[in-house]
Chain A
Amino acid sequence: EVQLVESGGGLVQPGRSLRLSCATSGFTFGDYAMHWVRQAPGKGLEWVSSINWNSANIDYADSVKGRFSISRDNAKSSLHLQMNSLRTEDTALYYCAKDFSGWPSESFYYFDFWGQGTLVTVSS
């Protein structure tokens, strides 16, 4: 059974940092691109960042570029999101999601398994 479990969320002041993690199991983590998607209160889903299977291809939404950094540890089947210079508009439920397509295919950028999310609240 595929499982994705996010952690690391919490209440943080504007300008501070937070590191999210996603522990995975039930699939060959190193074969798949992984993604972070967020949902602000009362808003739709927003793609945040993607990383391919070997970390050679990384993308960010313009809203987080230069502030957030995605990484992965294939040996530990884990995904991370380092969030710096947090803003109030970063307040959201952050989901870790698995790409539909695995190696040797390229990423498809739609998501067949998601975690339940970890809540990040940026407020003074």
Chain B
Amino acid sequence: EIVMTQSPATLSVSPGERATLSCRASQTISTNLAWYQQKPGQAPRLLIYGISIRATDIPARFSGSGSGTEFTLTIDSLQSEDFALYSCQQYNKGPPWTFGQGTKVEFK
């Protein structure tokens, strides 16, 4: 099983600032990495797939990068609606298809 580890667990950011979230895989996962956003009471939302491809209607301030086992989600100029839980997921090898434990982006 591929283990996904996210850091930090919580990130305190002020509106307008940049947020940088990390995700590490326990083995190489090629380009098969996705990021999701979760808000309480709402359906999770696909943000990024293929490491860096934004899903439909995702604003350009969200970007993904990385390779091999180390990946990053960057949110430029954080907006109020961006405060949420963010999870990475590998779909390179499975089952199981595994997620990180999440990074909560909170208001500083």
Q: Which residues of A contact B (CB under 8 A)?
A: 4, 43-47, 50, 59-62, 95, 97, 100, 108-117
Q: Which residues of A contact B49 (CB under 8 A)?
A: 100, 110
- Which single residue of chain B is at the shortest CB-CB distance from A96? B43
Distance of A38 Cα from B62 Cα, bound (Å): 25
Counting contact residues on chain B (CB < 8 A from A), the size range is: 20 to 34
What are the 4 A-B residue pairs with the smallest beta carbon separation, nearest first? A44-B101, A45-B99, A109-B91, A114-B43
Q: Which residues of B contact A (CB under 8 A)?
A: 32, 34, 36, 41-46, 49, 55-56, 87, 89, 91, 94-102
Main secondary structure of the interface of B (DSSP, over half): loop
Residue from B34, B42, B44, B45 whose CB has the most chain A CB atoms within 10 Å: B44
Indicate if the CB atoms of A115 and B43 lie closer than 8 Å.
yes
